[in-house]
Amino acid sequence: MSESVKDQIAKVSKEIESFQAKIDEHVKFFQGLEIRYYHRDEAGQAGYERRYDEMSYAERRLALAQQKLASLSLAAIKESTDKLDSTVGTLQSTTEKLIKSSRRLEYLTSLLFLVAAIGVVEAAEIALVPKEQVGNASIITLVVMAFVLVGFWKLLKRIFRDLPVQDPRQQANP
């Protein structure tokens, strides 16, 4: 099992700190002897050629570790971006489902109001119209019901117009 990018970054960061500490130690040594640590010839004349080479080797290793850290950082950024893309996709899907459910709830609430209006008109007819004149009141009920049915028809058209048409291939791949 391979190490996670985060673990690799931590490991390389420790290597960088170690190499930097070694280099700093060598620089401090050369500065203490008043030898220019950036010139090999001067270090060689003082008899510290091997120490200079160790410092140079640590500098090369430091540069390689820094390059590796940059690569790992890019990999971590890519990994985070992929996770973010996935999360945004899930959020978008959930939002679309919420909007669809909200529309359905709105339409069903409108339907409930229409049905309630029919009931109110019917109850008003029974309460207000004498039993002898029920025939005339039924005409009022029919007219109101016709308006309600027209409203219901418009509502159904709106429902089917607003519902998204899904490709059957998308339903097969959840």
Mind listing the pLDDT tens digit for each residue in 15-27?
999 999 999 999 9
Q: Judge whether 174 lies within some domain.
A: no
Is the pLDDT score of 171 beyond 70?
no
Please indicate, yes or no, if residue 85 is contained in any of the structural domains: yes
User: Using an 8 Å Cβ cutoff, are 125 and 141 in contact?
Assistant: yes
Please give the biggest Cα pair distance in the chain.
130
pLDDT value, residue 165 = 55
Q: Is residue 90 part of a domain?
A: yes
Position 93 pLDDT exceeds 50: yes
Rounded mean pLDDT, 51-71: 94
Query: Does residue 112 belong to any structural domain of this protein?
Result: yes
169 pLDDT exceeds 70? no
Residue 172 lies in a domain: no
pLDDT at 44: 86
Chain segment 103-117, per-residue pLDDT in tens: 888 877 877 877 777
How many domains are there within the chain?
1
Residue 9 within any structural domain of the chain: yes
Nearest to 124 by CA among 144, 104, 110: 144
Does a structural domain hold residue 52? yes
Using a 10 angstrom Cβ sphere, with 0-12 exposed, 13-18 middle and 19 or more buried, the burial of residue 86 is exposed
Mean pLDDT in the chain?
A: 81
Domain of 133 in residue numbering reads as: 5-164
> How many Å apart are CA 102 and CA 159, to the nearest integer?
12
In a domain, 170, yes or no: no
Question: How much is the pLDDT for 174?
Answer: 47
Residue 94 above 60 pLDDT?
A: yes
